[in-house]
A and B are shown apart, each in its own frame.
Chain A
Amino acid sequence: QQQVKQSPQSLIVQKGGISIINCAYENTAFDYFPWYQQFPGKGPALLIAIRPDVSEKKEGRFTISFNKSAKQFSLHIMDSQPGDSATYFCAERVPVMDSNYQLIWGAGTKLIIKP
């Protein structure tokens, strides 16, 4: 079964520090890598996404970097804040039959930002 391996499982970062979450993918027939943020008691929400034709995308304090040769993509959160404490999921969109698509999800990273 196709997988996206996400690490670490949990992460504690001091306020103002850089949070880094990594994902390694297997399926090379991808075209879209999103990251989702989930707060306790809520559904996941799209945070930022990248396509493989670019190596980096930045939105505010959040940056996705993509390394095609290593089959990895990473989320960096600069100047991490307590409000960033959440669970983060990476995913890879792959084609399936009949021109349809599916997301393959990572297992999630629980991020805690200490004040």
Chain B
Amino acid sequence: NAGVTQTPKFRILKIGQSMTLQCTQDMNHNYMYWYRQDPGMGLKLIYYSVGAGITDKGEVPNGYNVSRSTTEDFPLRLELAAPSQTSVYFCASSRQGEGYTFGSGTRLTVV
């Protein structure tokens, strides 16, 4: 099992550019999440999904969008990148909110 796979691992964006962070899980988990983690800080929930076709905002959704068309995939879209979006992004999945499995993260820098 690969678990949760995130791509890319690193990315530098210019202000105003857009990009999609990919996340795929092969554990048939119903819940999926996107978090951001700023240096030395905790996890902030951006968006989450409890199943295909169902998404909801977390604590810090502004500037981001998500979709969940399949159980496996949960991409995060950044529109009009801003320096405040410089962070490490983690995707995670779980079964009913227990035993989260995290991906290895995407380190994003907006310049």
Contacts and interface: CB of A to CB of B under 8 A. Distances in A.
Contacts of A108: 41-43
The binding surface of chain A is classed by DSSP as: strand
- Best-surrounded residue of B31, B96, B97 (most CB of chain A within 10 A): B97
Instruction: Classify chain B: how many residues form its interface, as a range.
Output: 20 to 34
Contacts of A34: 98-100
B35 to A, nearest CB: 9
Interface string A80-105: 00000000010001000010111101
Interface string B41-80: 1110100101000000000000000000000000000000
A12 interface: no
Interface stretch (A18-26, A38-46, A53-61, A62-70): A38-46
A107 interface: yes
B92 interface: yes
B99 A42 contact: no
Contact of A101 (B41, B97, B105): B97
Nearest to A97: B56
Nearest to A36: B100
A45 B92 CA distance: 10
Contacts of B90: 43-44
B38 to A, nearest CB: 11
- Best-surrounded residue of B31, B41, B50, B104 (most CB of chain A within 10 A): B50
A45 B98 contact: no
A98 B30 CA distance: 14
B99 A43 contact: no
A103 B97 contact: yes
6 contacts: A36-B100, A44-B90, A44-B102, A45-B102, A103-B97, A107-B41
Interface of A: 32, 34, 36, 41-46, 49, 89, 93, 98, 100-103, 105-108, 110
